[in-house]
Structure formats: structure tokens, C-alpha cells
Amino acid sequence: MARYIFITGGVVSSLGKGLASAALGALLQARGFSVRLRKLDPYLNVDPGTMSPFEHGEVFVTDDGAETDLDLGHYERFTGVAARGTDSVSSGRIYSNVLEKERRGDYLGKTIQVVPHVTNEIKDFIAIGDDEVDFMLCEIGGTVGDIEGLPFFEAIRQFSHDKPRGQCIFMHLTLLPYMAASGELKTKPTQHSVKELQSIGIAPDILVCRSEQPIPDKEREKIALFCNVRKGAVVAAYDLNSIYEAPLAYHREGLDQAVLDAFAIHPAPRPDLRVWDDVADRIHNVDGTVNVAIVGKYTQLEDAYKSIKEALSHGGMANRVKVNVSWVDAEIFDQDDAAAHLEGFHAILVPGGFGERGTEGKIKAAQFARTRDIPYLGICLGMQMAVIEAARNVAGVSTAGSEEFDHEAGKKRFEPVVYHLKEWVRGNAKVKRKHTDDKGGTMRLGAYDAVLAEGSRVAGIYGTPAIDERHRHRYEVDVKYRETLEQAGLGFAGMSPDGRLPEIVEWRDHPWFVGVQFHPELKSKPFAPHPLFADFVRAAVENSRLV
């Protein structure tokens, strides 16, 4: 039976609950325990799948095809444990499940209420996989006191009450603001946050206090006294140069020991932190720098491409270089020449996206990389734009475009080299989709297999003839253009096992130009960089020596 750690936040949002949860999971693994991490989000969307990247950041996709919060990416990157659809839930999903049961008559005509029906649904979700791991870490989104979060706080209160004593603990993140005028750290916001938590029946066992300044013993003692926790359970969380320093930083502050003490686990297994020591060494001891341009349409919010940025940093670790990322708005190419904004970069990456806005700029970025022999990695839409560029400028299909853009415009303007995927095979079942379907969850989602062409660049990079990668898209490159494009020099280096869906393209006569229909960034980790990103950065390093 798992032990449960519930992670909550107070005072302000964006304190780093997801990072603290992920780092704690990594530390417990270092001590020999198995872990799983979960995110409970209070928003009423069923999942983040239809939310704007400007609103929510990236959507993290699991192997089983769930569209989830980006914090699950942190969990995977720090623990290496593949997230599942059962590791993320929102108020919208909870209420939807409750209302579906009510319509089916599962509640036998009872009046449906937040307590017990909604809270029971949350508790049932929390308990999934209870017997699979040693520790279950559950992060509650938002901050204590948020009205939409109250059912989740009540549910975890009940859950801890239902479990045997010592089976659940609560970890609360707060802010210790520094008042420069008086030269003091102020503990009152933390005290008020804990008081709010206690008012709904939850007493924190551990406080993680985010601070820009060292926390003196006097302040630790004050926090411990007025918040009713042990002094050793007041853990400092300081700003870091890299998020991957967090496991070592939290270990130095005693977070993992405080957790084991709260569970009365004695003697505590000694941690093996060699993996994180190596990661820290690769961050701080680099042999050079490369500059990579990310040409996208959501560049105003870096969290929209969170996993891509992290995967690039992992590729840098693999090559012992620092990767400087520059965000280039694809729409700027509507007025300016691509060369004016892409000159001097050692590599170009074009990520995924939806809709026509910015796509002509992405096509120009692909053309610039192709003609200038600059390493190029196109992901999802970035692959499709590279194919359209090849069709227009090399293969002679001058009106090449995507069916997606014609649907937006309401008229036919392009020859659809990229078309709406209407059916595909998942496992032993055929999946069918129509344009009129609801947007949420109707894409090709999750892990799918691909077969790599013998002798291709990507086969050499992966070192295997077959792969499986995660997808999130509605449109595919039309395989009927394969012969035309291959004659022009664009090789189809990866295909679905049935040969119908192009998964990878590459220019044969280019130093490094690869487009992939899937999202390799979702499976990259600091201690296990994705091979595509590791080789992409290697190519950027080589190019930097030529510039």
C-alpha cells in the first residue's frame, strides 16, 4: 500500500509546486523507493487539450494518449516514470464523471452534492494504483483558499482520515517575501497561508518556503512555532540557475529526510545521487555554446514550448555545451526576409502548432535551413511545413499546402500535400474522425510505432529499426506524394508499420535536416537525452565551428 504525500501551495501561484514534487520524487527514488506523481487541477476544462497555449502553456501527452498538464512533463523528466492518463485530472473531468453517473442512475435517485459525491470521485481517482508504488505524490493545483479548489482540499482531508495513521502527510509551499527597506524576511504570509489550510482541516507536516534570501534560524523557529511544525520540517527553496539542480538543492536542505521522518521511516536508506551529480556537472562544466532559433507562433509564452526547451538543454548536456535558445515569431517573416532574423544561428527548430497563422514564416524558415545547410529539426507542424516547402520549391508542386488551412479559409486554395487524417489503426482497432467532431481528444494521440528506413540518418541516430513515439495532431503528410518528394531528394525515413502514414522525412544531401510527425521532446530527460535532440545539438556544434 502506497504512502501518500499531498503537495499544496499558498500565498501566490507559480511557487514551483510541480518542480518541488518532481525533485522530491527523484530524491525518494535515489533512496530506493518507487514513486508515482499525480496532478489534480481545479479548473473546469475537462483537460488542457482545447486550451490556448497562451492560457495554459504546453499540453503534455502521455503514452496512452491523455492530454495533460505540463507539470506531468516535470514529473517524467525528473523520475523517468512514464506518466499515464490516470495521473492527471481536473474539476471538469470529475464533475463530468459525476454527472454521467447521475444520468445513468448510478446514485439511485439521491441528491447529488459536492460532499460526498464529488469528493468521493476525487478520492477514487487518488487511489488508482495504490498497490503499485511505495510513494504516491499528489499535487493540488492553484493555492489554498481558491474557491474552485475547495472540493480537492476536502477530498484529501477525507482521504487522509480514511487511511491508517501515518499513511498520509501534507507538504505546503509558501512564499517568504524579503522587504528590502527593512532588510527582513517576512513570515506572516506563510503563517496566514497555513492558518487558511488549518481552517479547512489540514495541518501541514512539512513547509517548503520559497525565498530569495537565506532563512535565519530565528525565522525558521518562528515559522515552526506559529505553524505547528518541527523546525527540521521548515525547508528552504531558493532560486536556482537550473531546475535540474533542484534534487541536490532540496537534499541539502533536508527535504527528503523530513519526509521520511514524517512517515517515521527509520533507519532511512542512504541516497544514491550520482545521476544528479553527473547532471549538475554537465550543466556547470561545458565546452562551448550553440545558438538555436525556435521559430514558432506562441513565442510570447515560453511555457508553450516547455518540453522542447528542456529537451534542447538535455541535448546540450549530452554534448557538454550550453544551448542558447532564441524565440523567433514566425509571423515576422511576413514582412521581413528570413535571413534578417536567422543569420548566425547554428541550428533552427520549428515546433508544432495549430492553424494557418505563422505557417508561411515556418515554411520560409525551413527553406532557409535547407538552402543554407543549417541543421533543422521540424516537429509535427514543423515537419509538415518542411514537406510543403520541398513540394513547392523543389518538387514542382507550386500550390502545395495543407487541408487545414483551406478549412479555415472556407475555400480551396492549395493542393493538399498535408491532409486531414480521417482514420488510422491503434492496436487492433480502427479509429475514425470527422471535421465536425468535438475538438477535445479527437486527434491522433499517444504512442505509435514507426519503422525506420535502413541506412537512413534517423536509423543511425536511434540505433534501432523500429521506434515508438508520442503524437498529437489531426493532419498528416499525404503518402501519395512520397514518390514525387523522394525523387526531389526528400527521403521518407520513417513510416507507420502499415506503410500508410509518414512519420519522418529527411533531406539526404543535407548535413542535418529531419522532420518528425511526432513529439520526441516529450520523452527526453536530463539523464537520458532523446537521441534526436542529442544529435541535433551535436550537428549544431559542428555547424558552429564552420560559421
Check residue 276 and give its pLDDT: 98
Q: Is a pLDDT exceeding 90 seen at residue 419?
A: no
Check residue 335 and give its pLDDT: 75
Q: What is the DSSP letter of 528?
A: B
**Residues 345-360, mean pLDDT to the nearest whole number:** 88
Query: Cα dist. 207→176, 255, 259, 262 in Å?
Result: 11, 9, 11, 12
Which one of 56, 346, 521, 530 is the catalytic residue?
521
Domain ranges of the chain: 7-279, 286-546
Residue 227 confidence class, pLDDT cut points 50, 70, 90: very high
Query: Cα dist. 224→230, 235, 478, 523, 525 in Å?
Result: 6, 10, 63, 40, 36
Query: Cα dist. 390→2, 3, 43, 175, 396 in Å?
Result: 53, 54, 42, 52, 9
**Residues 101-106, mean pLDDT to the nearest whole number:** 93
Check residue 426 and give its pLDDT: 59
Q: Is a pLDDT exceeding 90 seen at residue 406?
A: no
Q: Is a pLDDT exceeding 60 seen at residue 425?
A: no
Phi, psi for 28 (deg, rounded to 5): -65, -40
**Residues 114-121, mean pLDDT to the nearest whole number:** 96
**Residues 123-133, mean pLDDT to the nearest whole number:** 95
Residue 49 confidence class, pLDDT cut points 50, 70, 90: confident
Q: Is a pLDDT exceeding 90 seen at residue 246?
A: yes
Check residue 63 and give its pLDDT: 94
Could you tell me the pTM of the whole model? 0.92
Residue 441 confidence class, pLDDT cut points 50, 70, 90: low
Q: Is a pLDDT exceeding 70 seen at residue 121?
A: yes
Residue 357 confidence class, pLDDT cut points 50, 70, 90: confident
**What is the CATH number that goes with domain 286-546?**
3.40.50.880
Q: What is the mean pLDDT of the chain?
A: 91
Check residue 47 and give its pLDDT: 84
Q: Which helix (H) or strand (E) holds 383?
A: helix 381-393
Which one of 74, 251, 519, 530 is the catalytic residue?
519
Query: Strand ranges (DSSP E) for 14-132?
Result: 35-41, 60-61, 67-68, 88-90
**Residues 304-326, mean pLDDT to the nearest whole number:** 95
Tell me whether residue 519 is one of the annotated catalytic residues: yes
Q: For 267-276, 291-300, 390-399, 493-502, which range has the lowest pLDDT when averaged over its residues? A: 291-300
Query: Strand ranges (DSSP E) for 303-440?
Result: 322-329, 347-350, 376-379, 400-402, 415-420, 423-426, 429-432
Fold agreement (7-279, 286-546): yes
Check residue 339 and give its pLDDT: 79
Tens digits of residue pLDDT in 490-518: 999 999 999 999 999 999 999 999 999 99
**Residues 121-139, mean pLDDT to the nearest whole number:** 96
| Fold type of domain 7-279 | Rossmann fold (3.40.50)
Tell me whether residue 521 is one of the annotated catalytic residues: yes
Which one of 380, 403, 404, 510 is the catalytic residue?
380
Q: Is 474 exposed, middle or buried (0-12, 13-18, 19+ CB in 10 A)?
A: middle
Tens digits of residue pLDDT in 450-462: 999 999 999 999 9
Check residue 230 and give its pLDDT: 95
Q: Is a pLDDT exceeding 80 seen at residue 56?
A: no
Tell me whether residue 209 is one of the annotated catalytic residues: no
- In angstroms, the CA 52 to CA 518 distance is 20
Q: For 130-139, 232-241, 333-342, which range has the lowest pLDDT when averaged over its residues? A: 333-342
Neighbouring C-beta atoms of residue 162, cutoff 10 Å? 11
Q: Is a pLDDT exceeding 70 seen at residue 430?
A: no
- In angstroms, the CA 259 to CA 261 distance is 5
- In angstroms, the CA 491 to CA 488 distance is 9
**Residues 358-379, mean pLDDT to the nearest whole number:** 94
**Residues 504-533, mean pLDDT to the nearest whole number:** 97
What are 133's three cell numbers? 508504488
Q: Is a pLDDT exceeding 60 seen at residue 440?
A: no
